[in-house]
């Protein structure tokens, strides 16, 4: 196969949860640019449809669909509708994350922890469970979980300085578990031709710099990152297409760090 062709996603059906969000939009755009039909899914159906409409207006294939990862009935219905409408599900990108109740351990209430896990743990498990059934039947499929550097290394609390910002305990818990979950999927479903990988991004500029400007945390983060900057909208596009496409046909169980070198010290 020609190496350029190996990156193409023509005729592939890709689902991106949280596809209308900060990271979800460039992920969906990258898959669409590579030729895939992209299903953008989240609880907010209007936002998903707006994001899909924007892609279609630029000549790409996309639809927006409603999905509540906190409800199993919604997850089951969503996957059923995808299969009925498109007849296949080739790539699942688990990008959605609940940030509700993100606090330090001393601030955390039991109800807040459980509410977070309902989406970030149970929801992740359930949508993967329902999607992978169809991938097994087709003897092929790709699962990409969007993690974080917080799932690879411990939080560097001094980087926040005196800003009052901090790293929530459940985010580290969720993203660390996601890496292990990815490896389990890869090892168990490899026999069916299914690959599972994780992408762990570092700090994302549009979600940080636009909100906080150049405060102490932003300055410290840039200083401690070998490439000297936060990630931008384009930085995740190449990695997502690589892992979704045949270019990574022999890559599974891997956690790809897209962090400007943050974890390499």
| Active site residue ranges | 171
User: Which positions ≥6 away from 101 have C-beta within 8 Å?
Assistant: 108, 109, 111, 112, 113, 115, 116, 170
The residues with which 144 forms a beta bridge, in sequence order, are 93, 197
In the numeric block, which tokens belong to residue 245? 């496409």
Residue 8's Cβ-count burial label (10 Å; 0-12, 13-18, 19+) is: middle
Rounded to 10°, the helix 237-244/24-33 angle is 60
∠ CA(215), CA(219), CA(224), 5° rounding? 150
């Amino acid at each position: 196969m020609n190496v350029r062709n190996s990156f193409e996603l023509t005729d592939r059906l890709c689902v991106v949860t949280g596809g209308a969000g900060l990271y979800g939009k460039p992920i969906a755009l990258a898959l669409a640019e590579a030729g895939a039909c992209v299903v953008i899914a989240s609880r907010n159906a209007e936002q998903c449809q707006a994001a899909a409409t924007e892609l279609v207006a630029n000549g790409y294939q996309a639809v927006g669909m409603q999905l509540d990862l906190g409800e199993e009935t919604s997850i089951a219905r969503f996957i059923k509708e995808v299969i009925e409408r498109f007849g296949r599900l080739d790539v699942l990108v688990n990008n959605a994350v609940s940030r509700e109740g993100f606090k330090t351990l001393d601030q955390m209430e039991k109800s807040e922890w459980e509410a977070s896990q309902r989406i970030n743990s149970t929801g992740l498990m359930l949508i993967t469970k329902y999607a992978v059934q169809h991938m097994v039947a087709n003897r092929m499929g790709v699962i990409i979980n969007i993690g974080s550097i917080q799932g690879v290394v411990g939080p560097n609390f001094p980087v926040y300085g005196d800003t009052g910002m901090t790293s929530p305990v459940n985010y580290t818990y969720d993203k660390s578990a996601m890496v292990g979950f990815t490896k389990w999927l890869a090892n168990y479903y490899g026999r069916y031709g299914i690959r599972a990988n994780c992408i762990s991004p570092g700090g994302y500029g549009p979600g940080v710099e636009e909100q906080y400007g150049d405060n102490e945390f932003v300055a410290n983060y840039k200083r401690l990152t070998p490439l000297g900057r936060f990630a931008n909208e384009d930085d995740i596009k190449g990695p997502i297409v690589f892992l979704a496409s045949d270019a990574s046909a022999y890559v599974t169980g891997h956690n790809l760090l897209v962090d400007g070198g943050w974890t390499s010290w």
